[in-house]
Amino acid sequence: MQGFRHSDSYPVTELASFFSHTGALAAVIKGYQPRAAQLEMAQAIQAAIADHKHLLAEAGTGTGKTFAYLVPALLSGQKVLVSTGTKNLQDQLFNKDLPVLRKAMPTPFMAALLKGRSNYLCTYRLKNALTSNMGFSKEDAAALAKINAWGKRTQTGDIADIADVPETSPVWYLATSTVENCLGQDCPDYAECFLVKARKKAQEAEVLVVNHHLLCADWSIRDNGFGELLPNAEVVIIDEAHQLADVASNFLGINIGAKQLNDLAQDTLIEYFQDATDIPALRAAAEDLEHEIKDLRLAFGLELKRGEWQELERNPKIMAGLQAVKAQLQRLDAQLELASVKTKGLETCFKRAHELLQQFLLILEDNSGKWIRWYEVHRKTFTLSRTPLDIASEFRLFMQHHKATWIFTSATLSVANTFDHFATHLGLTEARSQSWGSPFDYPQQSLFYHPKGLPHPNAPNFIPLIVEFVLPVLHASKGRAFFLFTSHRALQQAESLLKGQLDYPLLVQGSRPKAQLLEQFKKAGNAVLLGTASFWEGVDVRGEALSCVIIDKLPFASPGDPVLKARLDAMTQQGKNPFFEHQIPAAVIALRQGIGRLIRDENDRGVLMVCDPRLLKRAYGQLFLDSVPPMRRSRDIKDVQAFFME
């Protein structure tokens, strides 16, 4: 690797000068202010890298943790992998933060951005779609034409770069590849493949920026010998680390959906019309599979839900539907095996059918007790899943495979000053841990309002009652608020109650894409935004547009969720207390994320309102109160009104 090799010898004093008033960062960042916590965190990371010790580094909002981990990692001269929670944060790191550091660093470095395969244009599949006899709607044909024109201009093939076809458009399925349908080195377009080029850059880079989904996807396929998409890093930094366990849990299991099975049937038909019209039984098998999938979706009924596998076993109609899909998948598998000698495309379809069949059987027939089996019903599709009961031992093995120094960082890793919950979840038995509070002046900048007389969250009219408490706060703040909910049902109820009661724009999650809603919220300057989980974290609104965060209730995960329920049952069987050892810590971290939306810089001011009386009426409420920043507290609406008058 070219570049620099200060590694263990880069002196602490030089790191201090890098972050000082007159240092390298001050030279390239206008208005840069040194922060003691930022330097301390950078020094702790430098020490962890030098000693080859894993580190859990919690840094409150405003610490400047991105530079605190990037600077020592870059100065170490080692090969660095940074994984983020979202693609947005990934783009920000690569397009904003690293270019700033490139100007400040004493030596140049090579950085690369790598996303999952579905984020890159596949020219082979696009050509196939454009020449197929399948027939498209007018809208899809127009979108494909736009993608085709853009495909001739783009340097990266990153689908986030095309403005006029949204990433959510279903037409992208025809212009991107999946692990199952990629032809690999046998592809006629292999030499020009955008994904291959991106991976080559990733292998050569000294700093590689990925996201948790890609990190875990690489880990989950390593067992089959296809891992190592991610080069062997010497330092692995996990940002937004509190999200990692959930992402990992999904990837270590098996998920089979109606969409994957339909995609297989569709791709088989495309190949059939091109090269296999002499095998009519192949077409019949693909079309019959589509038919059985449709019937099975109907058998699941109208309600959108997640549920335990036992519920399916009690439903003869669904069990019959599952057996019918299995039989059709076996039939398609057999027909594709016969046709696979004709072309590479048909051979790839056969491999996919065979793998999907194996996974389908694993979910259908598993009784080992090591896995949680569950299902989810969506509007048009369904998913069948098998998730590991425990990921700690798996994750330990993954870390041992990557002989790197691992740094886990987030604003929310601890609960009541201990990292036990996070560390246990991922099996991190020998990691150092350190925490740095936010530099913001919370007693001056914020007020925590918790009114008297709030209804119990189980009360049937909980939302109408709390809206009565919330309205005076929204009038005092003149809008400018996030009203955050723990369920979509509560959000919809609040929306119908607030419509017509406010003189401010009411924005509702789901009415348009998240990025557009946020833009609208910032522009309006006095809007009230109703949101659920996706607005609790990773959202950064600075300034007066967001001056109030209202939270309906303590964010305990639904105990009816099949995966959570199975894990809690297993903990009970092990003699543990799942409520205190899992549910409370997880809810504390979620609450801290929600509260973190309020104060984003030293000039922000705002009111936090939590509408859940359990904060003061249950013994465990103290754990939540201990995890809230040191805000002034009040139970009187007059203090809220006075705060906004100041």
Q: What is the DSSP string of 212-243?
A: HHHHHHHHHHGGGT---SS---SEEEETTGGG
Last residue of a domain, one of 171, 196, 221: 196
Cα–Cα distance for residue pair 218/199, rounded to 1 Å: 12
Average per-residue pLDDT for the chain: 90
Residues 168, 228: one domain? no
Residues 167, 43: one domain? no
Q: How many domains does the chain have?
A: 4
Whether the per-residue pLDDT at 24 is higher than 60: the answer is: yes
pLDDT in tens, 261-316: 999 999 999 899 988 899 999 999 999 999 999 999 999 998 988 999 999 999 99
- Tell me whether residue 1 is in a domain: no
Cα–Cα distance for residue pair 192/178, rounded to 1 Å: 17
- Tell me whether residue 270 is in a domain: yes
Residues 604, 499: one domain? yes
Average pLDDT on 565-573 reads: 89
pLDDT in tens, 84-119: 998 888 989 999 999 999 999 988 999 999 998 889
Would you tell me the crossing angle of helices 123-131 and 138-153 to the nearest 10 degrees? 140
Cα–Cα distance for residue pair 469/417, rounded to 1 Å: 32
- Tell me whether residue 201 is in a domain: no
pTM: 0.84
- Tell me whether residue 2 is in a domain: no
Average pLDDT on 517-544 reads: 90
Residues 21, 58: one domain? yes
Beta carbons within 8 Å of 394's beta carbon, 6+ residues apart: 248, 252, 388
For residue 601, give the CATH number of its domain: 3.40.50.300
Residues 90, 232: one domain? yes
Percent of the chain with pLDDT over 70: 96
Residues 396, 473: one domain? no
Q: Which range of residues forms the domain containing residue 180?
A: 117-125+133-196
- Tell me whether residue 528 is in a domain: yes
Residues 73, 214: one domain? yes
